[in-house]
Structure formats: C-alpha cells, structure tokens
Structure 1
C-alpha cells in the first residue's frame, strides 16, 4: 500500500512543528521538511542553527508517530560546495530522515555529476539517499537528463525523484519510467493540474503555488502510479492557491482527503 506524506511546500508557511501536527491530524504517515532554502530569494526561518527548534521538532515527531520522508531543498549551483550542507545532513539524521531532495542547476554537466557524487558520498554516513528532481526551469529538465546524471555519478545511495507536475510539464509521460530500475525510484511526488501547461515563464509560479490536489485535474496520475514500483511512498506536494488563506490543519485535511480518495478510486479500478 502506498503511504502518503505531506510535503512542506504544500503548507510552506507552517513551521515544522505546526506542519507535523497538521499532517498527523489529517492522517498522513510522514512529512517532508524544508531545512534549506532553494535560493537566497527564498529565505525563511529554518530550524537549522537553533538547537531548541530542532529538539522541539524531534519531540513533535515522536509525539505524533510520524516519520520524515525527505528533507529539502538542496540546489546544486555552479559554485556549490557540498560540505556546506553538513549541518543540514546532521539535522536530517537527528530527524530520522531518509532522503534528500536535490535539484541540479549547474549548466556544466561534468561538474554537476561530480557534485552529485560528492553529495552522495558526504550524505552516506548519515544514512541519507540523494534524490535528484528534474524541473523544466532548472538545468536538469527531464527524466532522461536526471537518470543520466544519476547513472554517471554511479552512487548506490542515489535515485531520481519524479514529480507528477514536472513530468508532465517537461513533456514526459508515465511510460518513460519503463527504463528506470525500482531502486532509482524510492518515492514520488503527486499533485494535479490542468492538462494545458502555462506559458514557459509561468511554470515556476504554477509549481510553487498553482497546483491542484490529486483527482482535481487532468494529469495521468493513475498511469503514473501503475508505472512506479509497488507501494512507492507518495509525497503530496500541492500548494493550492484556492486554499492559501486556510489554516495549516484545514489545508492538510483537504490535501489528505483528496489524495486518499484518489488512491481508493485507483485501487477500486486497478
């Protein structure tokens, strides 16, 4: 059975303790936590650097019974020094996280592969798996490109993260997963969206605040679920503009209700 995790981007204005409480109340089995900002323009109050905040987050996880599916967001830029992520790796291990959400944004393919390999080697002692997410507006735009980077990096603790929205908007289809080994697909992100994509310069805005909950749009989610390995954990990453003014608990419940209903429909027709 596919477990459901609540991605931090779905309720990005929530602190980790608030997100965890909302996810547990809604029925999610795990959460994703943002510890690192994608860029300086995305600055936020991270629990990194605050021992008290980290301890409180660990306590909330223990109380709720939830686990941490993944930690984000590690963007690999041309000037990235992966050792700078060590504090985040240490915190991730304390939180019990298993995977790191990584984005490749370096136009130099050779350097990117080197940094992905170094990231894997640095993260391995902490029990962390590096999952490279392809995004149409990053330098690793497609499933094929992401898989090529991971294969060339040659690390056992690396895989490709498939986001239903990015797969569609990059021109891919669930059938493209046929060439992937199950070991490369340790979890996936789901949401929904209209079939017609926005203009290229609006893709980022759609991804960060204009998604729909599973079952509300036209993405081929049933086909994607069939293409994934059985029981792949699913992270619900769906920042929904219509519900931005709702409380974290309300948004978590809406996201879980829609996602679990879609999963039930899929199983009934499988």
Structure 2
C-alpha cells in the first residue's frame, strides 16, 4: 500500500475549502484537511460551512470532481466554558463531507473539566462516525505526550486517538522511544512537517514558527525518520505553513513542493520503517 498524504488547511489557510480541495488535487494529494471550526485568532478566515451553505455546496462539488476525500476537520478546542454541543454543526458537516477524524486540543488547566468534556466530545462524535484525535501542543494546557497519553487512558473511548505533530513533538522535547509504548490502535493520522532544530525560548517565536515558518520535510532538524519508525502506517497530513514561500510561489506550487519534499524524504529510507 502506497503512502497517503493530506493537505492540511493551515498550509494554505487563506484558501477556502473548495479552492483548497482543487489545489490539493492538482498538487497530487490523496486527502484534504479542512478547518470549519475557526480558532478565532486575529486575521484568521472563518470557514463555517454549517452556516455558509453555498461554500458547503461548492466544497462537495470540489470533492466530487477531484475524487479527494476529507481526512479530518479541526479544531475542537477544549477550553474553559466550552460545551461539546457547540461543535455538533461542524461534526455534522464533517460527516456530510466524508471526514474521518476531528482534531482536538486542550486549553484549560482544569484537568477534571477537560477529561469530562473530552469524553463528551467522543460520545458526540460517535453519532457521526468520527474519531476525536487528541493533539498535544507545547503552548497549550495538554502540552506533552505524557499528558495526552494520560488523558486518553482516563477517557478509555474506542473512537479516541492520538495525533502527533512533528513540530510539537520536537518542541515538547519528547523522547522518540516513548512512542513504542503507545497502542498502535491510537494512531489514525500524523502531522508531518519540519522546522529549525533550535527550540525557541520565547513563546512568541515558537508561535511564529508554528504558524508561519515551518520547513519542507528534511530541511530542518526534527528527527522525522526516527519518529516515523515508531508509528504504524497512517495518512500523513502535511501541515507546513510558510507565509513567505507562499507569497513567492503561490499556494498551489508551494503545496506541490511540500508534497514532493515529503515523498522524496520518505523514499530515502522507506524499506527501513513501517511506511513501505
């Protein structure tokens, strides 16, 4: 079975889902990953497909015409005061589009509250045949692999998974060997990217790299090969935002180069890992 790749929305966030889908197809991707739940950050576009019915229709058309599938939707944040039901319209849209997974991260320090809401999210997602993929983020409340594993163990939900982002794994100073102890059934997708080896000490600089300056696969200092050696074969979502390169190359050519770099990097050691 060949490797499969998705174009993550953050790589080309300025592109609405229909345009993102056509770009992904022309660039050679197998999936597209879309963001119908806005993170409410400054200058971030809002692609609320549950409310924007015309954009939803156009997205369905783009998927039908290209033959691409939706790998995941994002981002179901667990933060103080949130209720899982607020994400149900997006879950319904995700199911309509054939999505498989929903990304989730935790931004509250109330561990009991977070665990309860995570279980509720999983239960809600079951109605739409979706999994909830917990992503640890170094600037969030669940910031490490250990914290994410503990939360998944406590939840004990059969539609919950662990979503590792190569950038976050490296920035959280994780040990590659710890992945061996994670159940293979928890892995459904992986965020593939690269970044400079040096870990910024300032949160602002880390955020800037995370959202604006990630690198082509093999260009930076993240131990990508070693990480991939420890996980089963799953789709790789290329989340590689780099604003300057997009300005220079345009979204489609940049997306194509991201994919080329990933395929080239993996081909160098394909026979040695679980990605043959």
Structures share a fold, TM > 0.5? yes
Between 197-206 and 215-224, report the one with greater CA deviation.
Answer: 197-206
Give secondary structure in 2 for the equivalent of 1:97: coil
Match of residue 262 from structure 2: 259
Give secondary structure in 2 for the equivalent of 1:61: helix
Match of residue 110 from structure 1: 112
Residues 1:207 and 2:210 are matched in the alignment = yes
Residues 149-164 of structure 1 aligned to structure 2 (within 5 Å) = 149-164=151-166
Give secondary structure in 1 for the equivalent of 2:162: strand
Match of residue 83 from structure 1: 85
Q: CA deviation at 1:41?
A: 3.8
For the 8 Å contact 2:38–2:46, the answer to whether it is kept is: no
Q: CA deviation at 1:257?
A: 1.1
Q: 1:40 to 1:218 in 2, by over 3 A?
A: closer
Q: CA deviation at 1:249?
A: 1.0
Give secondary structure in 2 for the equivalent of 1:259: helix
What whole-Å deviation, never above 9, does each CA across 1:112-137 have from its counterpart, x for those lacking one? Answer: 00000000001111011000100010
Give secondary structure in 2 for the equivalent of 1:149: helix
Q: 1:150 and 1:205 mapped to 2: Cα distance?
A: 29
Match of residue 121 from structure 1: 123
Match of residue 179 from structure 2: 177
For the 8 Å contact 2:118–2:155, the answer to whether it is kept is: yes
Give me the TM-score of the superposition, normalised by structure 2.
0.94
Match of residue 147 from structure 1: 149
Q: 1:189 and 1:222 mapped to 2: Cα distance?
A: 13
Q: 2:79 and 2:43 mapped to 1: Cα distance?
A: 15
Structure 1 residues without counterparts, runs of 5 or longer: none
Q: CA deviation at 1:268?
A: 5.5
What whole-Å deviation, never above 9, does each CA across 1:168-222 have from its counterpart, x for those lacking one? Answer: 1001032221110011111110101111112232211111111001111111111
Q: After the TM superposition, which parts of structure 1 deviate over 2 Å for at least 4 consecutive aligned residues?
A: 39-43
Q: 2:106 and 2:62 mapped to 1: Cα distance?
A: 32
Specify which of 220, 224, 247 is matched with residue 217 of structure 1: 220
Q: 1:59 to 1:223 in 2, by over 3 A?
A: same
Q: CA deviation at 1:69?
A: 0.7
Q: 2:174 and 2:39 mapped to 1: Cα distance?
A: 24
Q: 2:141 and 2:21 mapped to 1: Cα distance?
A: 32
CA RMSD across the alignment: 1.3
Give secondary structure in 2 for the equivalent of 1:136: coil
Match of residue 61 from structure 2: 59
Match of residue 22 from structure 1: 23
For the 8 Å contact 1:106–1:139, the answer to whether it is kept is: yes
Q: CA deviation at 1:269?
A: 5.8
Q: 1:51 to 1:241 in 2, by over 3 A?
A: closer
Give secondary structure in 1 for the equivalent of 2:104: strand
